[in-house]
Structures are given as C-alpha cells and as structure tokens.
Amino acid sequence: MKTELVQTLTTTFEAHAQQTEGGVEYWLARDIQYLLGYTKWDNFLNVVSKAKTACEVSGHRVADHFADVGKMVDLGSGSQREVDDLMLTRYACYLIAQNGDPKKPEIAFAQTYFAIQTRRAELIEQRLLEAERVLARRKLSATEKELSAVIYEQTGGNEDFALIRSKGDQALFGKTTLAMKAQWKVPDNRPLADFAPTIVLKAKDFATEITIFNARQHGMQSEAAISCEHITNNQAVRKTLLERGIRPETLPAAEDVKRVERRLASEEKKALKNPDPLPSEE
C-alpha cells in the first residue's frame, strides 16, 4: 500500500472519531461502512454481526462496544428521516475490520490501524495500573514509617514494629508473613509488600492508617494495646474483602515492584530523551 494512501486513510479514520460527553472515543457504523469500502448497509451489517459474535466469544459484553443509535439523514426533498446506526468503540471497529473482506485495501489498512490503536490503549492502561501499584507501595511505606514513629513516641521504643506488622499480616491473610512469603516466593531479604498486588497494598495501608489514628486518639502506650488495635483493623479489612469475594491469601503474587519502578523510570527517561517532534507546517 502506497505511503500516500496510508497517510490519507489514517487521517480519514482519525477525523471520523468522536467522543461522548464522558470522553469515550467512538465511531459511527455508517461512517465506518464507507471508510471500509462497503456501499450497501445490509452487506456491512453481515460483517457487524460476525464482529458481535467475536466480541461475545472473547468474553466482552457486546452492548459495551456496539450501541444502537439513530441518525438523521437528509432527503432529496429537503426533509430528514431517522436511520439505524451504531456507536462503535475502537475494539468494535477492530473486530469489524478483522471480519471484513480482506481483498478490500481499506479493510487491510483498518485491520492494522485498529490493532495498533487497540494495543496502544492496552499499553497505556497497563502503564497506568503499574504506576498506581508503585504509588500504592510508596504510600504503604510512608504509612508504616508513621506507625513506627507512633510506636516510638508512645511506647518509648520501636523495636516492636516488625512484630506488630507481622500480627497485622496474620489477621489480613489468615497466614503468617513467612507463610505468605513462601507462597509468593519472596526472597528472604525482601518485604512481602514488594510482591503484593495493588488491592492488598491498599488494604494494608488502610488498616495501618486506622491503627495510627486510634493509637493516637486513645493514647495507647504499650505494644499489646497497639498490636490488638492493628489486628482488629486488619481483621475488619479482611472481612470487607471476603464479603466482596476477595480472599487476599489466594491472590497471585505481583511482579517485583522494584522492577516495575525501574521499568517505568526507564520508559520515562527514553520519552524525555526522544520526544515526538511537532508536525511540520509544510
């Protein structure tokens, strides 16, 4: 396919993208019909039907990607009438292209275009999830340092911090810290939290924040009192998770958060070193 045609098709497909008030990107089926080289609506609907089946088979709700809408069209008399149309997500467009006539150059282009765009969106989503986990780990570290400081301020020493944290783990997971480290294959010299999924990091952080608040609020001055408080809070958080169908001890280990942090830092460094140039005015 010639470069000029690729550039033209890219511009055309992007120009027809629209957004809902909530910022969700979509295309209208009757626009996509012509962009993909289909002159007859009924023929195009056959392709859409196959795409819907593929969507369902892939485990996605069809209604989330193919939404029935009406569209007003101009008639020769100057009046208008409403015709059936569909709002399509990028993923829906990708499935339509995958089920279209491969002999059409527009289909060949769209298959690659929407595959790349979909993959790009997936990469962005994955990066955001990874950044959220790194942030959650940093927040937990800061909260645990604050708890250690509270223990020192109110008991005269913070040598009991590791013990109190371990009791909190037992209450949250129903297993000891050592047992969870063995299950998640965490190196002996690394903290369990470095391999915990985001939901667990936030659960531990929430329980710890409550412990800090109540330890200060009630002036707890012994390891026993703070331990009891921390156990109670972790048990309460565990109960909430279980009620929502989440058993923290059965969740798989996440990737080493230090490795994720290094990867994100490396990607950011590369982006700063090789920024995309502004388009030429020529």
Nearest Cα to Cα of residue 229 among 207, 203, 252, 251:
207
**Prediction pTM value:** 0.61
DSSP letter at 156 equals: S
The whole-angstrom separation of Cα 147 and Cα 159 is 12
Residue 277 has a pLDDT of 43
Residue 93 has a pLDDT of 87
Full pLDDT tens readout for the chain, 282 residues = 455 555 666 677 778 888 877 777 888 998 889 888 898 989 999 999 999 999 999 888 898 899 988 765 555 565 666 678 888 988 888 899 889 887 888 887 888 777 777 677 677 778 888 989 999 999 999 999 999 999 989 888 767 788 899 999 999 999 999 999 999 999 999 999 999 999 999 999 999 999 999 999 999 998 899 999 999 999 999 999 999 999 999 999 999 999 999 988 887 676 545 544 433 333
Q: Considering Cα of 202, then 208, then 211, then 217, what sign does the dihedral take? A: negative
DSSP string for 16-68: T-EE-TT--EEEEHHHHHHHTT---HHHHHHHHHHHHHHHHHTT--GGGTEEE
Name the 3-class secondary structure at 160. Answer: coil
- Residues making up the chain, counted from first to last: 282
